[in-house]
A and B are shown apart, each in its own frame.
Chain A
Amino acid sequence: MVTNITSFGRSGLSDWLIQRVSALILAVYTLFMVGYLLFNPGLDYAAWSGLFSATWMRIFSLLAFVSLAAHAWVGLWTVTTDYLKPTAVRIAVQLVVILAIFVFLVWGIQVLWGA
């Protein structure tokens, strides 16, 4: 057993599952977005903000944002543990990543519910 303190789920198994589930959610969200844009060629502001004022779309978007946050954390955590060997540098980069993810997530929520 290798001890971990900065990984997302604290366990390889849960990180692995989170990575797969979040990838699935992001794939569905991306497909939906691409599909929506393709079927609405003359998209204007009213239609676009109308889409995002629907509750289901906000829930769907928030789910995608949270998935993106988790996915990025698990993925970047893995990259840092592969390539950054000095502990101080690695933990520092991990903290910056986690902080950035947090900021982007809150910002995303504000954009969703702000307009």
Chain B
Amino acid sequence: MLQVSVYRYNPETDSAPYMQEFQVDTQGRDVMVLDVLHMMKEQDNGLAYRRSCREGVCGSDGMNMNGKNGLACITPLSEVVKNGKLTLRPLPGLPVVRDLVVDMGLFYKQYERIQPYLQNDTPAPAIERLQSPEDRDKLDGLYECILCACCSTSCPSFWWNPDKFVGPAGLLQAYRFLADSRDEATRERLAELEDPFSVFRCRGIMNCVSVCPKGLNPTRAIGKIREMLLANAT
């Protein structure tokens, strides 16, 4: 029997959040945390969480499992369970909508701020804008982000200033467009980032790197942005 303790909160009926205990019989199998959530939902239909692809592609089921953020669907019990206990909480730092479902508004607002689309005013060629294989390689480790928010919600700098600090996810994408040879808005992008909060609130703690389910490295991208800012300054 696996003992699961899960964060419950329904703002309409509960005056405060509380932890609910579940006993789940996994029949000794090493299933994913998301499977355990399904079993719990069979016991209590009211339990709310997000999921869609259930294979680590959509980024919907980011949550805090025994103190560490990750995707429930690709996290096997053997990786997180300690002493037969599992504690599930919503991603830290964002407002809770219900149980494990958080309001990602601030996270998306920061993503929107870095203008996550290619900007190029030269007329497009007949077929497509070409890029050398070397230039294309620069986007590896950047474009794979699925915006699950595991990184930003494990970042203390994002907890304190989610309205001003772009956060690791947004900054990884900021660099994805700064590094793209087809993008022409480099100067404008950098100008938007040089204040004391947007990039520089990063303290290099690397919580983001340690939780990213896609194995990406936002801290390195942030370092690259800093280098570009420095190179562009006088």
Contact = CB atoms under 8 A, between A and B. Distances in A.
Interface of A: 1-4, 7, 11-13, 15-17, 78, 81-83
B160 A1 contact: no
30 contacts: A1-B193, A1-B195, A1-B198, A2-B195, A2-B196, A2-B197, A2-B198, A4-B195, A7-B196, A11-B194, A11-B196, A12-B194, A12-B195, A12-B197, A12-B199, A12-B200, A12-B201, A13-B226, A13-B229, A13-B230, A16-B200, A16-B226, A78-B196, A78-B201, A81-B160, A81-B161, A81-B196, A82-B160, A82-B161, A83-B160
A17 B198 CA distance: 16
B68 interface: no
Contacts of B198: 1-2, 12
Interface residues of B, number: 19
A2 B200 CA distance: 11
Name the 7 nearest CB pairs between A and B, nearest first.
Answer: A12-B200, A12-B196, A2-B197, A82-B160, A2-B195, A2-B164, A13-B194
Contacts of A83: 160
Contacts of A1: 191-195, 198
Contacts of B194: 1, 11-13
